Amino acid sequence: MDPYTELKELPSLKGSLNNVVSQQHRLKRPSSLSESCAWTELNLERTQAHFTEAPLSELVISTDIVPKKDKEKNTYELFLVTNGLRFLFHITLISIFETVFFFLYISTLEDSGIQKTIGYFINSAVASCRNLTQEEVVVSDMLLNSIVNTTQIAQQATDALMARTAFNTNLMIKSWFYVGLVTCGFMILTAYSRLRSIHVEWKPLILENIGLVLLLAAYEYMFFSTIIFPFQPLSAAEISEGAVQQLQSSCGLLT
- pLDDT given for residue 149 in this prediction: 80
Tell me whether residue 81 is in a domain. no
Separation between Cα atoms, residue 221 and residue 101, nearest integer Å? 9
Q: How confident is the model at residue 131 (pLDDT cuts 50, 70, 90)?
A: confident
Question: Do 37 and 161 sit in the same domain of this protein?
Answer: no
Residue 76 pLDDT greater than 60, yes or no:
yes
Q: What percent of the chain has pLDDT over 90?
A: 25
Count of domains observed in the chain: 2
Question: Do 43 and 93 sit in the same domain of this protein?
Answer: no
- pLDDT given for residue 42 in this prediction: 59
- pLDDT given for residue 246 in this prediction: 80
Separation between Cα atoms, residue 102 and residue 176, nearest integer Å? 12
Tell me whether residue 223 is in a domain. yes
Question: Do 97 and 158 sit in the same domain of this protein?
Answer: yes
Residue 140 pLDDT greater than 50, yes or no:
yes
Q: pLDDT by residue (tens digit) across 81-126? A: 999 999 999 999 999 999 998 998 888 888 887 887 777 777 777 7
Q: Quick count: other Cβ atoms within 10 Å of Cβ 18?
A: 22
DSSP string, the chain: --HHHHHHHSPP-TTSHHHHHHHH----SPPPTTTTGGGSHHHHHHHHHHS-PPPGGGPPPPS-PPPHHHHHHHHHHHHHHHHHHHHHHHHHHHHHHHHHHIIIIIHHHHHHHHHHHHHHHHHHHHHHHTT--HHHHHHHHHHHHHH--HHHHHHHHHHHHHHHHHHHHHHHHHHHHHHHHHHHHHHHHHHHHHHTT----HHHHHHHHHHHHHHHHHHHHHHIIIIITT---S-HHHHHHHHHHHHHHHT----
Tell me whether residue 62 is in a domain. no
Q: Which of 203, 193, 202, 209 is nearest to 80 (CA)?
A: 193
Question: Do 24 and 101 sit in the same domain of this protein?
Answer: no
Q: How confident is the model at residue 215 (pLDDT cuts 50, 70, 90)?
A: very high
Q: Which domain holds residue 46?
A: 16-51
- pLDDT given for residue 181 in this prediction: 95
Question: Do 97 and 184 sit in the same domain of this protein?
Answer: yes
Tell me whether residue 10 is in a domain. no
Q: Which of 160, 6, 184, 168 is nearest to 88 (CA)?
A: 184
- pLDDT given for residue 207 in this prediction: 93
Question: Do 102 and 215 sit in the same domain of this protein?
Answer: yes
Question: Do 142 and 43 sit in the same domain of this protein?
Answer: no
Q: Which of 217, 187, 211 is nearest to 89 (CA)?
A: 187
Tell me whether residue 198 is in a domain. yes
What does each C-alpha distance from 211 to 100, 217, 225 come to in angstroms? 18, 10, 21
Rounded mean pLDDT of 15-34? 51
Q: Quick count: other Cβ atoms within 10 Å of Cβ 21?
A: 19
- pLDDT given for residue 219 in this prediction: 92
